[in-house]
């Protein structure tokens, strides 16, 4: 990917496109690749969504609305980073369907440092919190940034242990969404000495559906994820699953089988996660990772697209692709094989269906029927 700064007009268009209904990371990346710019993609949205079967116009935020978000962020002292820009973290940009943009508050240069996520239960044991805090201290002393989600319990302990060495808090809402409120002082310290990250606009309050996307950023920023305590149905296990899908290392701290907060982390160990009984277990794996450049997406340098020819292929394929979708997730590559058609055309058909609310992109290259990503 050619990393470059964006003009004010381009930044505004990136923001408008990314905030458009049914335009998630997968759809955004496809539109940029197909049309070459956010401005051109915005112009194409009405026809694409209509062809996908949408009956009403697709609402696109106005220039004034995008500028209002930019001004709100600036008033908070926050900085918007688009995924093509030099300061956007490389590990995050390398994901399949990276977030198109993030808001940052504090020191965004920390996001490209070697980092490890430490996550776990909100209602954590005293022993679990002490372990997370001491692990974070040790990671910081080894020059590693600690990433977590600013939740109470394990997250807060991990941030506290790494305040002086460097810590990153990823929020589920906007960059000013402090939750829980008891962590307001911790938020202020991270904003001064570390970095706060959010995908949503300033002023947005987190909703339950936002946390899987938040967790994907936590794992995406990190070389590995350490789960300290987690029940069987918890956000920490979602973070671990996403980390595995992204090719990150997954560590789990063992716990008593009598404590429900250990069931999730113990289950991760049964599934092959790396045992973590202390700092050395993490450093041994992290320091042995090959030093290679992250794979980067290319949003600007693709070969020219024959739009007329692609439109004809999509027209012939669209309803065939739609008929193959169901509530059960299916890999996009499997759809390509089922259609026996060019991947570019199948992906373009899926994007049109997503814009119309008839397809839903999931992490890990999966797609289902339903509302777009």
Show the domains of the chain with their CATH numbers. Answer: 106-286 (3.40.50.450), 307-368 (1.10.10.10)
Taking Cα atoms as reference points, which of 109, 69, 116 lies closest to residue 85?
109
Asked whether 91 and 297 are in contact (CB, 8 A), the reply is no
- Locate all alpha helices (DSSP H) within the chain, ordered by sequence: 8-18, 25-35, 38-51, 63-76, 90-93, 126-141, 154-161, 184-193, 211-220, 235-245, 263-270, 279-286, 307-324, 332-339, 343-355
pLDDT digits (tens, 9 = 90+) for 301-358: 444 466 678 888 999 999 999 999 999 999 999 999 999 999 999 999 999 999 999 9
pLDDT tens-digit profile of 96-111?
889 999 999 999 999 9
Q: What is the pTM of this model?
A: 0.91
For 120-148, the pLDDT digits (tens) are 999 999 999 999 999 999 999 999 999 99
């Amino acid at each position: 990917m050619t990393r470059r700064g964006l003009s004010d007009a381009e930044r505004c268009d990136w923001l408008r496109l990314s905030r458009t209904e049914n335009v998630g990371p997968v759809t955004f990346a496809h539109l940029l690749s197909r049309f070459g710019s956010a401005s051109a993609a915005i112009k194409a949205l009405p026809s694409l969504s209509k062809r996908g079967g949408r009956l009403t116009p697709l609402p696109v935020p106005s220039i004034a609305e995008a500028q209002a978000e930019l001004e709100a962020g600036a008033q908070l002292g926050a900085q918007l980073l688009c995924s093509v820009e030099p300061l956007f973290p490389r590990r995050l940009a390398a994901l399949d369907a990276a977030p198109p943009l993030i808001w940052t508050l504090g020191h965004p240069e920390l996001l490209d440092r070697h980092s490890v996520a430490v996550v776990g239960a909100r209602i954590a044991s005293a022993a679990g919190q002490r372990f997370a805090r001491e692990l974070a201290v040790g990671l910081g002393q080894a020059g590693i940034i600690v990433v977590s989600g600013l939740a109470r319990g394990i997250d807060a302990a991990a941030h506290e242990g790494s305040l002086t060495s460097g810590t990153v808090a990823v929020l589920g809402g906007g960059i000013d969404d402090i939750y829980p409120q008891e962590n307001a002082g911790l938020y202020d310290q991270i904003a001064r000495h570390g970095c706060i990250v959010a995908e949503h606009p300033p002023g947005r309050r987190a909703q339950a559906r936002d946390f899987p996307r938040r967790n994907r950023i936590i794992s995406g920023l990190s070389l590995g994820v350490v789960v300290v305590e987690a029940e069987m149905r918890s956000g920490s296990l979602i973070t671990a699953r996403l980390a595995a899908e992204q090719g990150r290392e997954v560590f789990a701290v063992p716990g008593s089988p009598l404590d429900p907060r250990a069931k999730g982390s113990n289950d991760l160990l049964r599934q092959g996660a790396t045992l973590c009984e202390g700092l050395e277990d993490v450093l041994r794996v992290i320091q042995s990772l090959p030093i290679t450049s992250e794979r980067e997406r290319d949003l600007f340098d693709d070969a020219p697209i024959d739009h007329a020819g692609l439109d004809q292929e999509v027209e012939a394929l669209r309803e065939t692709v739609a008929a193959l979708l169901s509530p059960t997730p299916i890999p996009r590559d499997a759809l390509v094989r089922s259609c026996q058609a060019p991947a570019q055309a199948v992906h373009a058909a899926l994007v049109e269906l997503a814009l119309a609310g008839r397809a839903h992109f999931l992490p890990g290259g999966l797609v289902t029927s339903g509302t777009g990503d």
